[in-house]
Amino acid sequence: MEVVKDALNKAQVAFLSYKNFSGKKKATFLRAIAEEIEALGTELVTTAMRETNLPEARIINERGRTTGHCRMFADLVEEGSWVDARVDTAIPDRMPAPKPDIRKMLVPLGPVVVFGAANFPLAYSTAGGDTASALAAGCPVLVKAHPAHCDTSRLVAAAIEKAAIKTGMPQGVFQHLDAEGFEIGQALVKHPLTKAVGFTGSLAGGKALFDLANQRPEPIPVFAEMSSINPVILLPDTLARDAAKTAANLAASITLGVGQFCTNPGLIIAIENEALNSFIKTLASEIQKALPGTMLHQGIADNYSRRLTQTLVQKGVKTEGQAANGTHSQGTPLVASVSAEVFIQNPALSEEVFGPFSLIVRCKNIEELMKVVSRGHGQLTATLMGDEGEISKHKALINVLIEKAGRLIINGVPTGVEVCPSQMHGGPFPSTTDSRFSAVGIDAIKRFARPVAFQNFPESLLPDELKTDNPLGIWRLFNGEFRK
């Protein structure tokens, strides 16, 4: 495909110079992107609202998160220690063999393809976390726009291109490809100059890209965020005290954004008793009061309706509370319940229903609850509702959850992902294709870099980050001691 070939040739030419740009110069570019996005003003907000059915407050918040991500990575690369520089100087008279001079740091991978996400028109799309972290690492980016918000994507792409010209970036450091269908995306992943892929979307889409990348003569990493039902475990003693409050908080989380968040609490696990009955009654009441909301686009609405119907017709599944039905483009909030025995026997009940839905799993005892948790898939998050004393009696449960999720939460809801250095937004398959990396926070940059060791290099040929006199003044591990 000629358009893909031309785009990646430009990206590769840009990479040969951009990879050597200083952190300060890349930081200037990233800050300029943030400024140009903000300069779009109300045009960006109204366009995104029109294309996604999202409210103004959500778009403004997402715009702030997008520009904040750009500035966060600008600060990171300007400071410089993210390259994880390590210097071990030579010991020529060491016995029984001399020690060579070895120095190591992270270097950028090469051109990165980013697929825009349907549910985040700004924060996980054209200038979102994947794009910002790849540019920060020193990788040119090619964005495949999502057709659900193509006008929004074009506006943001134009802002990035304007920032690139203003700050003297090489032509091809950022490119925007706007086409429907799968052909462009497949061609981008298959092209030999592509070195990594960023994706946020469905399990089917992410797995298809992952498989395609691994069928190449030179396989490449695909960092795909895909499917997560984010289990919430309600411990009985604490639930008995806080059933109503817990139900209200979870109802708000289930219906937030019409349930169109990757961290939506799609599974609630608890032990059968009167407290659980009270909780379900209150949760059902809260859900019944909720209003159906227009979903991001008709494809998501149709998929929610289809998956919800498939779940509700499964043997043993009981509807507990349902909001009033809306139009064909709206998502109806609903909660249902099922016994642990049936849940364990039916793998279909573990699949994500992307929308304002949650399934309650009723367990006979803690042993059955542990069985449900142990057999669960990989998740972005797992939540425990309980006080410190009660949780301390179930440390085995925490040990299992550590194996199942990237972020563990106590007495909170999974929706709402704080952007900070400690954040982990990733998890075991099928929530992502690589549980070692986060898509949020400063560590997201490490997806698009690899370590290289330089042995016995003359000082004049070393990258500045590895020179003995440390001209950049960054923190490094120097002969086993962290220092500037």
What are the residue numbers of the active site? Answer: 225, 262
Q: How far apart are CA 35 and CA 156, in angstroms?
A: 11
CB 232 within 8 A of CB 322: no
Angle at 342 between CA 338 and CA 345, to 5 degrees: 145
- Residue 94, burial from CB neighbour count under 10 angstroms (0-12, 13-18, 19+): exposed
- Spatial CA neighbour of 131 closest among 421, 445, 417: 445
Helix (H) or strand (E) holding 391: helix 388-392
Number of H helices, E strands in the chain: 15, 19
Helix or strand or coil: residue 220? coil
Q: How far apart are CA 442 and CA 445, in angstroms?
A: 6
Q: How far apart are CA 177 and CA 313, in angstroms?
A: 41
CB 177 within 8 A of CB 7: yes
CB 145 within 8 A of CB 7: no
Structure tokens belonging to residue 151: 């006008």
Q: How far apart are CA 101 and CA 91, in angstroms?
A: 8
CB 41 within 8 A of CB 22: no
Helix or strand or coil: residue 72? helix
Q: How far apart are CA 270 and CA 273, in angstroms?
A: 9
Q: What are phi and psi of 344, to 5 degrees?
A: -65, -35
